[in-house]
Amino acid sequence: MGVLKLETLIKAFELYKRMLDEDVMPNIVTYSILINGLSQNSRAVEACGVFGRMLKQGLEPNAQTYSGLIDGFYESRNLTEAYGLYKHMLRWGCPPDEVDNSLLIEGLCKVGRMHDALRFLFMSGLQPSTVTCNVLIDGWCKTKNLVYALRTYRLLRAHKLEPDVVTFTVLTKGMAEVGMLQEAAIVFFQMMKRGHMPDVVAYCSLIDCLCKHGNLISRLKVYDIC
């Protein structure tokens, strides 16, 4: 589902109201698009109002409808409402998909509730993916908990998942920022050995942290590889 710009959303909402005025009942696709558009434009409360109208009309929400709402509350960092919608989804008999679960995990990580995010991953029954693990690794690194970051990294291997350039970049940056320069360099070169070309973020993160820790020679060696 594409992103609705504010101007397009206003026109869509006007059309929606005209449909109601003329007793033309919107279908689930119309509601889902409108809910998604409102959520994308930081209007989650209005999206909930539209959602309520849809339920009164007797339409059954699908995973896409819920994803739009959860995304809206996730963006506004209102995790209580987001999780409430998740439970409503379960009660309604609509199985959450990977997007819904990943949004809640990412939301918990963003506010530093890492243990809750990890607990939710296992309680949800969601099969870990590289993307989900990357979100968790990034969260652990941002809270300076490299022990759990590495445990999550090993979770990839346990589930026969392949780390990608994001995995290595996040780990490299996290290690470098806490002074684990040797470990960061090892991860950095492991990334290259596996055929993943480091991006600008990976290079800059490692060089910046080497500079901060006064390791000029190593910085020059990394710079020469760029």
DSSP assignment of 118-174: HHHHHHHTPPP-HHHHHHHHHHHHHTT-HHHHHHHHHHHHHTT----HHHHHHHHHH
Domain count, the chain: 1
pLDDT band at 137 (very low <50, low <70, confident <90, very high): very high
If you compute the radius of gyration of the chain from its CA atoms, what whole number of angstroms results? 22
CB atoms within 10 A of CB 106: 18
- Over residues 159-179, the pLDDT tens digits come to 888 899 889 889 888 888 888
Residue 1 above 50 pLDDT? no
For the ranges 40-54, 70-84, 92-106, the one whose mean pLDDT is highest: 40-54
Residue 197 lies in a domain: no
Q: What CATH number is given to the structural domain containing 2?
A: 1.25.40.10
Residue 29 lies in a domain: yes
Domain span holding position 46: 1-95
217: its two tokens: 């020679």
Q: What does pTM read for this prediction? A: 0.66
Q: What are phi and psi of 15, to 5 degrees?
A: -65, -40
Residue 172 lies in a domain: no
Residue 178 lies in a domain: no
Residue 157 lies in a domain: no
- Over residues 2-18, the pLDDT tens digits come to 445 555 666 766 777 77
Residue 43 lies in a domain: yes
